[in-house]
């Protein structure tokens, strides 16, 4: 589905009911890319990830799609603040018989003892930059420069983390923050994204333009770059790709 069409309020259709996109995160283009990153960089390749924790499961579709295309045998525990998103996620988990591989808790990630549940973190975190969080969907607010929650996640000292990072949410500072926390970039994937319903909200667009003028947001009139980044604290990596990642994120 073309994300440009989503500038008007989209309807999320499930088998049980319909929700508007102010209730449940709905951006198929972005969720599909997150799912592809999980499949290629996490579920089909990792040896150290039998127990994975997810910040912000949304409607569960990215993890479900990637589980259906992998041989992963461990458990993914997702956390999601929004009750309606959890309801949709639970419906999908049951429909695909994945309850032994994917559990979604309706609670704040930061208030759970997630460390006892896994040391491999995955997330497509909230990254909308805006001065305040009175947005179409307040839980997508990533602080004034969009990177606050990503940095909070990077500060949790997880040995492995696969996080989605947007080129309009101060990517250079975010990657440098990760390096300062002892991370290296083991792998990444990038994709062009259209500005959609949430990122086209005037308050967000204005903030992104302001950040662009200060060299903290990178995009063209048509697209921005979204990256799935695999951060590792292990020092046995063949190469750290953080400089290559910064070049890709700042190319527009
Ligand atoms: C960008 S959406 C991603 C949803 C889904 N993973 C996807 O890619 O389709 C971010 C999600 O994080 C959730 N979220 C925000 N703050 C949270 C918190 N403190 N704990 C758990 N979930 C949170 C939001 O409600 C939202 O569903």
Tens digits of pLDDT across the chain (252 residues): 334 344 555 655 554 456 667 789 999 999 999 999 999 999 998 776 789 999 999 999 999 999 999 999 999 999 999 999 999 999 999 999 999 999 999 999 999 777 777 789 999 999 999 999 999 999 999 999 999 999 999 999 999 999 999 999 999 999 999 999 999 999 999 999 999 999 999 999 999 999 999 999 999 999 999 999 999 997 676 799 999 999 999 999
Instruction: Provide the token pair at 89.
Output: 């996620």
Task: Say if CB 145 and CB 211 are below 8 A apart.
Answer: yes
Residue nearest to atom 7 of ligand 1 (CA): 31
Query: Which residue ranges have their beta carbon within 6 Å of ligand 1?
Result: 25, 31, 34, 55-58, 62, 79-82, 85, 108-110, 124, 126, 139-140
C-alpha of residue 45 to centroid of ligand 1, in Å: 24
Cα 144 from Cα 44, distance rounded (Å): 35
Confidence at residue 26, expressed as pLDDT on a 0 to 100 scale? 94
**Please, what is the average pLDDT of the chain?**
91
C-alpha of residue 141 to centroid of ligand 1, in Å: 10
Cα 23 from Cα 95, distance rounded (Å): 21
pTM across the whole model: 0.93
Q: Which residues of 225-244 are buried (b: 16+ CB within 10 A; e: fewer)?
A: bbbbbbbbbeeeeeeebbee
C-alpha of residue 236 to centroid of ligand 1, in Å: 32
Cα 82 from Cα 77, distance rounded (Å): 15
Query: Which of ligand 1's atoms lies nearest the C-alpha of 109?
Result: 20
Confidence at residue 4, expressed as pLDDT on a 0 to 100 scale? 39
C-alpha of residue 239 to centroid of ligand 1, in Å: 31
Q: Please, what are the domains in the chain?
A: 21-249 (3.40.50.150)
Confidence at residue 246, expressed as pLDDT on a 0 to 100 scale? 98
Read out DSSP for 85-103? HHHHHHHHHHHTT-TTTEE
Task: Say if CB 85 and CB 24 are below 8 A apart.
Answer: yes
């Amino acid at each position: 589905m073309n994300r440009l069409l989503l500038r008007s309020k989209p309807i999320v259709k499930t088998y049980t009911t319909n929700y508007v996109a102010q209730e449940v995160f709905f951006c198929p283009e972005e969720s599909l890319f997150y799912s592809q990153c999980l499949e290629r960089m996490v579920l089909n390749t990792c040896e150290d990830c039998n127990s994975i924790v997810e910040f912000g499961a949304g409607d569960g579709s990215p993890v479900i799609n990637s589980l259906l295309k992998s041989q992963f045998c461990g458990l993914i525990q997702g956390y999601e603040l929004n009750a309606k998103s959890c309801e949709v996620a639970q419906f999908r988990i049951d429909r695909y018989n994945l309850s032994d591989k994917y559990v979604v808790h309706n609670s704040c990630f930061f208030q759970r003892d997630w460390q006892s549940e896994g040391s491999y973190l995955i997330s497509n975190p909230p990254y909308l930059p805006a001065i305040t969080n009175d947005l179409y969907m307040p839980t997508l607010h990533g602080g004034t420069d969009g990177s606050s929650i990503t940095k909070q996640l990077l500060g949790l000292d997880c040995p492995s983390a696969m996080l989605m990072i947007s080129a309009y949410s101060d990517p250079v500072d975010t990657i440098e923050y990760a390096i300062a926390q002892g991370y290296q970039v083991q792998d990444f994937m990038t994709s062009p994204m259209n500005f959609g319903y949430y990122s086209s909200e005037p308050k967000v667009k204005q903030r992104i333009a302001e950040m662009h003028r200060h060299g903290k947001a990178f995009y063209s009139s048509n697209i921005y770059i979204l990256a799935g980044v695999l951060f590792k604290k292990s020092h046995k990596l063949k190469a750290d790709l953080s400089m290559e990642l910064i070049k890709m994120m700042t190319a527009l």
